[in-house]
Chain A
């Protein structure tokens, strides 16, 4: 369990197949034949739902469209998902439940034009640096910035007010803010009556969260809760943005709903400058979902259980899409354990390192009869595969589009030729489809895109030419003749009930503390996050040499370090109920006693996801990366 310094990953340039337990180089024909044959064998034995597709939230919209089409039209299953499950699936689930569509509601320009910005569970300064520049523009123009975070992050240091809440008490804090708004007569009555439903039950449900009770539970002083409540309710244009501090909890969807409730209560949504914005962690996690690479939605966010929507796709694809939702990533992992899922096609994902409690994930993947991994590197996941297909890097070696956090679809262009031996993802999907009896051919990404937008009303007006001319277009964009407003849900303000459509429901939410309880044995709360110069499992960001990079550390506040008798740079053992790792200590004044922090950027050196907990959100299936219970022990002295 020592700390190893890893060499940067090198590009895959030759297909690999597994023989007698060992991956060996193979020809393209052999690898593709074997990949297809394995899918056929497993689907014949176990039915279409024995197959699962892990699509890639970092690849293009076009690739995601073809990947989900492969699952639905070639295999006949809705078992397709991507790593949006590990981050923002609760945001999509919450926003879709309330508003009917799962995207952030505003544009970056509106952030600059806001009077008040709340960043809740978001270290945007490091994780979304260019978004934070828009925030700082607003701050320099006079907007107020409130940051809600257990840590005094570099983001919190820019805030006018920092609300330091205890990990996992977001719902109590949001409910207390709501109660204060209601009791101060600051609720937006006209919006509530016009655009929402369920207010009375909601108001009753937050009644228990008085300021003193909330202060006791959340650790945030009552004065600060009151101040934020009043500022948010009174602002002309308030923006609520959140990141994984909200979603990576066992009740992540409820957390998201608790913030949406506040916007409904005050009418801070559906107008220019007022909105709700989850900051997405992957370049195309929004687009992957929009393209239908999720188990419950077809391209264009159309419901897979809606017969009319399905009929349009079946007619276009000559398919029979199952009339029920597929399994999400978490459910697929469970199905692997049960033996119901026996084969997976993993495109550009690294679940063996990115999932919480990853030892468990590796065991489950080892159960599978046939694993095909398509990637640019031989990742930990690829090392488990039966067939490995070398792919191209979407963002610089292919053409296509990505969709960003403000729903802006932007062109991705091929700038360099891929290394010899690597092949385009869509081309590989077509090769496999053809081997499974579907004569798929696409000459260009644009052809894929045009097929998709013919089926997705919200993308219909986005031709490649228009995307280039306009610097990207935000969805929805139903017509090539016009552009929609930069913000969503203006309909909720309409006077005419027909144009207003379905009212946005308030959600009654209960506080549910983190699953991994603190105890005498595991007394410290560990939370995880990103650092400025690194990205996720570090497979890509590890490729460049950053003067800022320190490697993995266990961050402790000075008081805890003193209590434990450990000093900066000392190696310590960090254990949870699931495993243990060794990491050096770093002292961070931004933490408080009882709270520790680690990243997950260096899993080959310190595999933090061995100690995180897999307790998952029942709606969205996202794991509680943000709250593990740990203990820290000094290592025995080495002579």
Chain B
């Protein structure tokens, strides 16, 4: 008997974005149908978390703004992505995030702040922050929670959406909410299996390879000097795609293409971290 529903072909539906008619497959979200709406918590391999509120847009007839990352397109829907209301909302959200969190390694965020005139410093020097020392408790990767915006992507990647290791979850309430292992144990004493799939989805650099962390600390991390080349892992026969980030002929980081049908951006410890042997000269 059939248990698993493998679905039927999807219809196409039409809607309007900023005055333009667009056709998308049924089930598509507003974000996926539009180009370049800013977002931090949306992950192309994850279910929408609806956490960051950076991607809010106006939908005609809706009392409130809607998160474009999770709101599905309906036939005839009229969407506006760039109005005074969306800009005001985005400005406020980016200011709040920027005042509490270190966004210095978050790609594109300064561009978005400039676009809407966000000024995180306007809450004054005494505004609460999540500033704290980075956790360096293993040789493979670092958790710097002063950069964490609580988007939950790492929790989802570690949990039932991909890795199913459940090594981390959200602990605490309100402003004290934070990502933690069980009983705040160091990673080597946790359920972590070092797949690094949390690093793959982290939007702010709160989670990073130890190599990247060290190179940033000593000022030698230079993304403009890096190449990214996609090849295939050799540690078993599954055939995971690896993108090797190379600086000065040294592998400094490994990611996996999110559109790979083999990995969907996920790797195991060997694929993510097991390259050192080729560099032992």
Contact = CB atoms under 8 A, between A and B. Distances in A.
Query: Do A and B form a real pair?
Result: yes
28 contacts: A10-B280, A113-B6, A115-B4, A133-B266, A140-B160, A144-B3, A234-B1, A235-B1, A281-B236, A396-B229, A396-B251, A402-B232, A410-B239, A411-B231, A416-B249, A471-B241, A471-B261, A472-B239, A472-B262, A540-B277, A543-B276, A543-B277, A544-B275, A544-B276, A546-B194, A547-B138, A547-B188, A547-B194
Contacts of A404: 232, 237-239, 262
A13 interface: yes
Nearest to A142: B3
Interface stretch (A299-307, A458-466, A518-526, A531-539): A531-539
Contact of B269 (A116, A286, A410, A546): A546
B2 A280 contact: no
Contacts of B244: 396, 415-416
Interface residues of A, number: 77
A595 B262 CA distance: 35
Interface of B: 1-6, 138-140, 160, 162-164, 187-188, 193-195, 227, 229-242, 244, 246, 249-251, 257, 259-264, 266-271, 273-278, 280-281
A414 B244 CA distance: 10
Given A11-B278, A532-B193, A405 B237 contact: yes
Interface string A406-424: 1010111111110100000
A283 B251 contact: no
A127 B236 CA distance: 7
A60 to B, nearest CB: 9
B270 to A, nearest CB: 6
A445 to B, nearest CB: 12
A58 interface: yes
B155 to A, nearest CB: 16
What are the nearest 4 A-B pairs in CB distance?
A404-B239, A280-B237, A543-B277, A415-B229
A100 interface: no
Given A144-B3, A541-B274, A533 B237 contact: no
Contact of B239 (A235, A406, A417, A419): A406
Interface in A384-434: 393-397, 402-406, 408, 410-417, 419
A544 B274 contact: yes
B278 A130 contact: no
Contacts of A109: 261
Nearest to B236: A128
Contacts of A108: 261-262
Interface of A: 8-11, 13, 58, 108-109, 113-116, 127-131, 133, 136, 138, 140-144, 158, 234-237, 273, 279-286, 376-377, 393-397, 402-406, 408, 410-417, 419, 471-472, 532-535, 539-548
Given A108-B262, A236-B1, A547-B188, A130 B238 contact: yes
A413 B228 CA distance: 11
A279 B231 CA distance: 20
A396 to B, nearest CB: 6
B20 to A, nearest CB: 29
Contacts of B188: 547
Contact of A141 (B4, B139, B140, B271): B4
A422 to B, nearest CB: 9
Contacts of A541: 235, 270, 274, 277
Contacts of B274: 535, 540-541, 543-544
A585 to B, nearest CB: 22
Given A129-B195, A416-B278, A544-B276, A532 B268 contact: yes
Contacts of A410: 232, 239, 241, 262
- In this complex, the member of B230, B241, B260, B268 whose beta carbon has the largest number of chain A beta carbons within 10 angstroms is B268
A8 B232 CA distance: 23
A402 to B, nearest CB: 5
Given A133-B162, A417-B249, A535-B274, A281 B237 contact: yes
Given A283-B232, A415-B251, A535 B270 contact: yes
Nearest to A113: B6
B280 A11 contact: yes
